[in-house]
Structure 1
């Protein structure tokens, strides 16, 4: 039997319409925005140092990468937000988000916990007008972890009763007594001292009134010692507040507490699951924590007492962990000594390395980039 021979006809194909140049451009932009948003959320985010609170470890003009993987990235809380923005749309005062929807926030698994000594980026807790994930980003060094007892004695930090090792590039405030006016560019700027002022311009209760003239500088121990070598410098001494001076702007704001920036505590960092008795002193320490950061409603703190829904409570169990943060520029840092603890749900990530550094006040154009700081690991 003869088989019929099939004749195949080629199929007609529909021509593919070529994308316009505008469509190609738009697709590339969308892809880049989505990719950058995912990387920024899940893995790593870039930040810039705008203030000297972490000098000399981090300098104004440092650009750094912050790892979200170390402590685990947070799930978004405020979904109605313009991508790659924070509080406002670039270059304007227009809010970049709507807080109509607030999602429950969770943290994905990380490969480490926040440790004492880590340099951490977090959302500034007292900024209650913004959702947690859109509060201003701060960067400080973690001093105390949950359950730790933090104390400062004569400017030295003690952790659980033992002196804490100071950061290598820690800065303190010094009074430089001089016999004559100083060529500031040559003496201070050449020694990488960016913060200085004449003593007559600075009022500080911790410096005794005398006939000495000189400068207030913020610098490291090594550079302070180097200043002593100049023949026109009579003395260089660290400025430390006496223990009997009370600084009312410190946390907590209470007549029961008589502390200052150099003599502070002891104070215990709240820990999840730990129950405290609400004595008047504990209400001063933890009342705002209970009211603002624990997800409680209808909380009132007054006259050494805490009430929830109109009922006074005499004890409280913390719902999350907290941290105590300080800047490495100890006398020029608004930190936990001034506004309290950092809740765990405010932790953004760990600062890992500086990828670029631009001097905002260079001595010459060739010194604009601080080449010796590029790709420096943050310790």
Structure 2
């Protein structure tokens, strides 16, 4: 793994910090603190013995330094103090982020109009199964992804990158895309025309429709002036299960894999270009926009 990939893998960084601070906390609680206590007991015994000798000689001892002496010896070194303070916080964040919910930021327009650039979303990490952090190995099955789910996954061509798209095909499905319309297992999806969508960033309009996928109604965008996709045959793993013809395609989704597409259909690099997403690449199900600093009205759940 390259240095850039390691630095970009926040889960790995968080795991290392949790382990390091946890080891320091453990050593301090069970070993170093006891050593400091033993040293303090020896020093206090010597201090008391010296004061006893002074008192025996008729000299009034000064006992005011006893507490300061004890506190000074028992005081944690700065690096231990900070590690012990940070450990429970880091450990809590690591557990929450690894097994429950993880935040992501939408970096591109491929999921417009469902998700906008700058949306800060939450991803459910356990709905598709419990996975070990960092290595992303599933250890407990819960649910399988369903058509219509918005899913975060590791980009098949670069596992250091997280992508987000919509599940349009599950294992065994026959997916066809023709004239910018989807057919799943021989059944054409229902579509309803909506008012054109204004992209305020580019000041351009796109055709907007409602697509009903497995009972999940969601909006999609089409650019009438753009081809469905560049129709050159792709050489991704499992490409032999797909056929490409003049901008249209048909694919059979292999076992343990999923076919993903962006809702902004003509502005999305997805399974049409780089192939299927294997189960081991799954991160979780996106379900909630918790913040968009440019538009607070975006906060809330989404389809």
Give TM-score, length-normalised by structure 2: 0.62
TM-fit CA distance, 1:250: 4.7
Residue of structure 1 in register with 2:160 after alignment: 135
Correspondence for 2:290 among 328, 349, 355:
355
Q: 1:246 deviation in Å?
A: 6.8
What is the aligned counterpart of 1:343 among 278, 288, 301?
278
> Post-superposition shift, 1:240?
6.0
- Do the aligned residues in 2 keep the contact of 1:41 with 1:73 (CA within 8 Å)? no
CA distance in 2, matches of 1:55, 1:22: 47
Give me the whole-angstrom Cα distance separating, in 2, the residues matched to 1:23 and 1:77.
26
In the TM superposition, what whole-angstrom CA distance separates every residue of 1:166-206 from its partner, at most 9, and x where no partner exists? 6999x9xx8xxxxxxxxxxxxx9xx453335xxxxxxxxxx
User: Cα–Cα, structure 1 residues 25 and 165, in superposed 2: closer, same or farther, change >3 Å?
Assistant: farther
Q: How many Å separate the matches in 1 of 2:120 and 2:101? A: 13
1:50 to 100, 107, 111: 107
Query: Per-residue CA shift, 1:106-151, capped at 9, x if unaligned?
Result: 4133542100000000001122xxxxxx531000000000000000
Q: Secondary structure at the match of 1:353?
A: strand
Larger proportion of strand: 2
1:193 is aligned to 2:200: yes
Indicate conservation of the 8 Å contact 2:193/2:209, yes or no: no
Given that residues 152 and 162 in structure 2 are in contact (C-alpha distance below 8 angstroms), is that contact kept between their aligned partners in structure 1?
yes
Q: Cα gap change, 1:335/1:246 in structure 2, threshold over 3 Å: closer, same or farther?
A: closer
In structure 2, runs of 5+ residues without a counterpart are 1-39, 42-69, 211-221
1:54-89 Cα distance to aligned partner (Å, 9 max, x none): 0010000000111111001322465xxxxxxxxxxx
SS at match of 1:220: strand
> Bigger CA drift: 144-153 or 36-45?
36-45
Match runs of 1:151-230 below 5 Å: 151-165=176-190, 191-196=198-203, 217-218=205-206, 220-221=208-209
Q: Distance in 1 between matches of 2:257 and 2:171?
A: 5
Distance change (3 Å), C-alpha of 1:237 and 1:148 = closer
SS at match of 2:288: strand
Q: Verify the 8 A CA contact 2:130 2:142 in the aligned structure 1.
A: no
**2:90 alignment partner in structure 1:** 33
TM-superposed CA distance for 1:39, in Å, is: 1.4
Q: Is contact 1:120-1:349 (8 Å) kept?
A: yes
Contact kept in structure 1, 2:150 and 2:167, CA below 8 Å: yes
1:123 to 154, 159, 166: 154
Alpha-carbon distance in structure 2 between the residues aligned to 1:143 and 1:155: 14
- Aligned twin of 1:373: 298
TM-score by length of 1: 0.51
Distance 2:180 2:207 in 1: 14
Note the 1:1-379 alignment, pairs <5 A: 17-19=74-76, 23-76=80-133, 78=135, 106-127=137-158, 134-165=159-190, 191-196=198-203, 217-218=205-206, 220-221=208-209, 238-239=224-225, 241=227, 247-248=231-232, 250=234, 257-261=243-247, 263-265=248-250, 267-271=251-255, 321-358=256-293, 369-374=294-299, 376-379=300-303
Q: Which runs of 5+ in 1 are unaligned?
A: 1-12, 79-104, 128-133, 175-187, 197-215, 223-235, 272-320, 359-368
Number of residues of Structure 1 aligned to a counterpart in Structure 2: 220
Work out the CA distance in 2 between the residues paired with 1:40 and 1:135: 17
After TM superposition, the structure 1 stretch with the greater mean CA deviation from structure 2, 27-36 or 61-70, is 27-36
